Amino acid sequence: MMEFNESIAKELLNSLALVLKTAQIHHIDNMAVTNSIEKFLSILRGHFQSEEVKIEIIGDYFYINDNRIRYTSEYIFNYDFLMREMRRIKLGTLIFHGDISFDDMRNLTIGILSAGLSEDPFNTLMNAMKEIENVEVMELKKVKEDETRLEKKEIIKRTYSSTVLLSKDVFNKLKAGERANLKKAKRVIGTVVDQIIEDETMLIGMTTIKDYDEYTYYHSVNVSILSVALGHRIGLPKKALSRLGLAALFHDIGKIDIPLEVLNKPTDFTEEEWRIVKEHPQNGATLLLNLRTIDELTISLIIPAFEHHLNYDLTGYPSIRSRLELDLFSRIIAIADQYDAMTSARVYSRVPMSPEMALSTMMERSGKQLDPTLLKVFINMVGVYPIGSLVMLDTKELGLVFENNPNPEFIERPRVLIIIDSSGHQVKGRVVDLMERDENGSFKRTIVKTLDPNKYGINLAEYIL
């Protein structure tokens, strides 16, 4: 067997995505489509010759001939597109045997496109496959079963709690004027990054946990997780994600010197108190400067600590003289920070915003306070019904959004944990997929209304943990 070449494999995957992309826009015999098919075949023939090539989706990754393909920023959006399209038609595996003709590839493209429009996509594709030689398709395997999920949930819980403990440790040590353990911090954030890369859903779900008494620690952890997830979505490499996660964890470090009675004040701040609170970005930057000698890592931490309350249009605080361009990390952290702050209960704001209301408010700030492109990615990530949203279904069932739909085209169809059934009885632990259809091909359930779980004191932790 030939030696596996990852960069060629990446190119192959990218060219397959381009075939489908161009075929969605143009007629199948348009030159753009034929060229992209030729390109795909030239890579297939040129580098894999007559060997069998298996392209497979396992979890959130593509595998080619059993080798996991690592994402790179260059191709990430095309990979996402391909993943989405294949999942949409429940296509899990594509196997190319030997020499594939142009007609085979043309027919396969037509088959995939028709499957996408069909009520029963995979069978439509299977029918189309009868005309195609040398290409085999297999249905997408069901996502992890409950048992694996439970095991995974425990791992995720442990990661979350380790990060919270770390956050407490860092804040307390710095407050006491001691040195924070950055080695440990890097390792814990490394685990967060790994879990986000593997499957972001559950860890993002954990960010719905808010702690009223120890707001700052939990908030820092939540901002860190949401930032890493957003960074991953835009294609940042692992090392950068680790830096981003650390920077997010430290973004509010300047608050350690704000007296608790100010920080937890239940009424409006006085002018002087506001002045103190608004100094935390500059204090954070100075504290980090005092903490370590200057190196790449320190710089990555200092910048967002200083900039995270500066708006996209450079209003906000601290007031600055330069026409600087906000750092990418700062803009990511600002989005995660606002979202988590709005959806958290605090002393001065006991009833937080519902997740969808928070997103809606953030959309109003797009381009003014927040980076519009990153905000789009963030909304696609958390979903228009973010995890933890309390939703009423057309079946008169009440549920909590439990997991987002990975297919952005069906973003309004997440998996929902039913907490009250259609006859008004409380139920426990039943998760339904809003993508499920009945025998007529209609969706079985659709969200008709959202409610604010905080208004009713509904305990998200009860369900998430």
Partner 1 sequence: MLNDKSSQEPLTEGTGPVAELIREIQKAKRLLRMYPSNNPVYVSSLDTLYNKFSEVLRTEGELKLKIQQKSILHNGEQVYHNPERDDNLALFFFKDGVRELTFTEGLTRDELEGFMKILTSEIDQEQATDDVVTLLWERDFEHISYVVDELYLTDEEVMAEDRIYNEIKEQHARDNEALLMAYKDALEAAEETERATFTPLNEADIENISLEIKRQDLQKSTKLVTILFELLYLQTNRDDLRNIINHIKSTLEYCVLNGDFKNANYLLDMVKENIDKKFSPDISGNELRKIYDYINSPLMIEDLGRRIDTLSEDIDKEAFLKYIGHLNKSAIPHFINLLGDVHTLYGKQLLLDALTILGRQDVKLLSDGLRDTRWEVVKDILYILGRIGTSGALEYLTHTFSHPDERIRCEAVRVVGTLNNPNAFQYIKNALNDRSPSVRITAVRALSNIKTEGVKKVILTELSKKDFHLRDLNEKKEFYRTIAQWHDAEVREFLIKTLKKKPFLRKRKTNETRACAALALGIMRAKEAIPALKNASREGDDLLREYSISALERISI
Tell whether residue 35 is a contact of partner 1 (CB under 8 A). no
Subset of 59-88 contacting partner 1 (CB under 8 A): 70, 73-74, 77
Which helix (H) or strand (E) covers residue 329, if one does? helix 328-342
Tell whether residue 427 is a contact of partner 1 (CB under 8 A). no
**C-alpha span between 41 and 433 (Å, rounded):** 37
- Name the pairing type of β-strands 426-433 and 91-96: unpaired
For residue 185, give both structure tokens: 């911090």
Compute the least distance from the CB of residue 41 to partner 1, in Å.
25
Compute the least distance from the CB of residue 194 to partner 1, in Å.
8
Tell whether residue 451 is a contact of partner 1 (CB under 8 A). yes
Phi, psi of 6 (to 5 degrees): -65, -35
- Which residue from 46, 177, 429, 457 is in contact with partner 1, where contact means CB under 8 A? 457
Compute the least distance from the CB of residue 436 to partner 1, in Å.
20
Compute the least distance from the CB of residue 191 to partner 1, in Å.
8
What is the chain's length? 465
Tell whether residue 50 is a contact of partner 1 (CB under 8 A). no
Binding letters toward partner 1, positions 251-290, x by CB under 8 A: -------------------------------x--xx--xx
Scanning 3-11, 23-31, 46-54, 145-153 for contacts with partner 1 by CB under 8 A, the matching segment is: 3-11
Sheet containing 67-68, strands listed edge to edge, beginning at the edge strand earlier in sequence: 67-68, 61-64, 53-58, 91-96, 135-139
Closest CB to partner 1 among 108 and 301? 301
DSSP string of 132-147, one letter each residue: -SSEEEEEPPPP--HH
Question: Are the C-beta atoms of residues 36 and 18 closer than 8 Å to each other?
Answer: yes
Tell whether residue 110 is a contact of partner 1 (CB under 8 A). no
Scanning 100-108, 113-121, 266-274, 291-299 for contacts with partner 1 by CB under 8 A, the matching segment is: 291-299
**C-alpha span between 231 and 193 (Å, rounded):** 10
Question: Are the C-beta atoms of residues 247 and 228 closer than 8 Å to each other?
Answer: no
Tell whether residue 188 is a contact of partner 1 (CB under 8 A). yes
Q: How crowded is the C-beta side of 444, counted as CA atoms within 13 Å? A: 12
Binding letters toward partner 1, positions 210-229, x by CB under 8 A: -xxx----------------
Closest CB to partner 1 among 16 and 303? 303
DSSP conformational letter for 423: T
- Which residue from 110, 135, 392, 435 is in contact with partner 1, where contact means CB under 8 A? 392
Subset of 324-383 contacting partner 1 (CB under 8 A): 324-325, 327-329, 354, 356-357, 359-360, 362-363, 373, 376-377, 379-380
Closest CB to partner 1 among 299 and 431? 299
CB atoms within 10 A of CB 142: 8
**C-alpha span between 216 and 211 (Å, rounded):** 9
Compute the least distance from the CB of residue 11 to partner 1, in Å.
16
Tell whether residue 292 is a contact of partner 1 (CB under 8 A). yes
The sign of the CA dihedral 307, 309, 313, 319 is: negative
- Which residue from 62, 79, 171, 385 is in contact with partner 1, where contact means CB under 8 A? 385
Subset of 401-420 contacting partner 1 (CB under 8 A): 408, 411-412, 419-420
**C-alpha span between 343 and 25 (Å, rounded):** 39
CB atoms within 10 A of CB 222: 29
Tell whether residue 306 is a contact of partner 1 (CB under 8 A). yes
Closest CB to partner 1 among 199 and 327? 327
Scanning 1-9, 33-41, 88-96, 434-442 for contacts with partner 1 by CB under 8 A, the matching segment is: 1-9
Scanning 44-52, 114-122, 131-139, 238-246 for contacts with partner 1 by CB under 8 A, the matching segment is: 238-246
Question: Are the C-beta atoms of residues 75 and 62 closer than 8 Å to each other?
Answer: no
- Which residue from 8, 135, 182, 435 is in contact with partner 1, where contact means CB under 8 A? 182
For residue 105, give both structure tokens: 């590839």
Scanning 56-64, 89-97, 123-131, 316-324 for contacts with partner 1 by CB under 8 A, the matching segment is: 316-324
The sign of the CA dihedral 245, 264, 352, 202 is: positive
For residue 102, give both structure tokens: 């142009």
- # chain residues binding partner 1, by CB under 8 A: 97
Tell whether residue 236 is a contact of partner 1 (CB under 8 A). yes
Residues 232, 235, 237: CA angle, nearest 5 degrees? 80
**412 φψ region: left (φ > 0), alpha (ψ -120 to 50), beta (else):** alpha
Subset of 143-172 contacting partner 1 (CB under 8 A): 157-158, 161-162, 164-165
